[in-house]
Each structure stands twice: as C-alpha cells, then as structure tokens.
Amino acid sequence: MLKGIDPLLSGELLRILDDMGHGDELLLVDRNYPAASSGRPVVRLGEVSVVRAATAILSVFPLDSFIDTPLERMEVDEDPGVTTAAQDELLATAQAAEGRPLAYGVVPRLDFYQRARGVYAVVHTLDTTPYSCYILHKGVI
C-alpha cells in the first residue's frame, strides 16, 4: 500500500503510466470497447466508471500542454456537437486535475478504433455508459 496514491492505481497501471513518455497516448474505455483487439497492453479495472478511473489516472498523469486537445473523446451518434453527461463530467474532472481549461478533440467512432492501434496501452473498465471512450495524451511535469 502506498500513501497518497489512489488505490485504483495498481502496480501494473502505475508502471505503464510511468513508462509512458511525452506525447504517448493512453486509451480509457468502457465495457463495450474491444480493448484486446487494439493489440496494445490492456489493464482491466473492473466495475468502476470511466470517470472514476480518469480521476485516479489524472491524479498522477499530466496531460500534454503542447497540443490543443490533449483529451479526445469518441464522437456520439456521428455528431461532434453532442456529448453525454459522462463525457461532460470527465472533461470537468480533467480540468480540475489540470487546473486549466480544456476542450475535447472529437474522434469519429471508426477513426477512434483505427487510432487505438497506435496507443501505448488501454485501460478497460466495465462502465456501461455508451461512448465512454477517450484518448489521453501524456504531458510533462
């Protein structure tokens, strides 16, 4: 047990987050996302919401400050202007963790699957909320 570290962050996940370098991408996804098909390492967090997982991850993971959208979300129903309540909550969580305003990059669903092949790793939750799939770009401290 480590003091000051969110208990959701397992040793495996902490190692992956630490090994990632500036600009590497982390996929954070819901239960319906085909996490293993990306071919990247998958860390399974079980029955936690994506927002809860993001809260833990963002407590140690800096988002990139050199790009406009270090946080990207899967597009909802082929409409980039539509967001879900969970997407709105995750954006607020990220802004609080970063202490700065952020805006989402929006990735069409099929493009999201393609982009997943190039990420460093995948964090898979059993969240049932549709379109709870995100790409986080690692920054520097």
Domains of the chain, residue spans? 11-137
How far separated are the first and last CA of the chain, in Å rounded? 24
- Residue pLDDT, tens place only, 102-111: 999 999 999 9
Residue 82: CB atoms within 10 Å: 12
Catalytic residue ranges? 22
Given pLDDT bands bounded at 50, 70 and 90, which one contains residue 21?
A: very high
Mean pLDDT of 21-43: 97
Q: Which fold has domain 11-137?
A: RbsD-like fold (3.40.1650)
pTM, to two decimals: 0.96
Residue 115, pLDDT score: 95
Residue 44, pLDDT score: 98
Q: What's the whole-number average pLDDT of the chain?
A: 97
The b/e string for 96-109 (b: 16+ C-beta within 10 A; e otherwise) is: ebbeeebebbbbee
Residue 1 has pLDDT above 80, yes or no: no
Given pLDDT bands bounded at 50, 70 and 90, which one contains residue 2?
A: confident
Closest listed residue to residue 48, CA positions, set 7, 91, 2, 98: 7
Rounded to the nearest 10 degrees, how much is the dihedral formed by the CA atoms of 27, 14, 37, 51? -40
In which element (H, E) is residue 90 found? Answer: helix 85-98
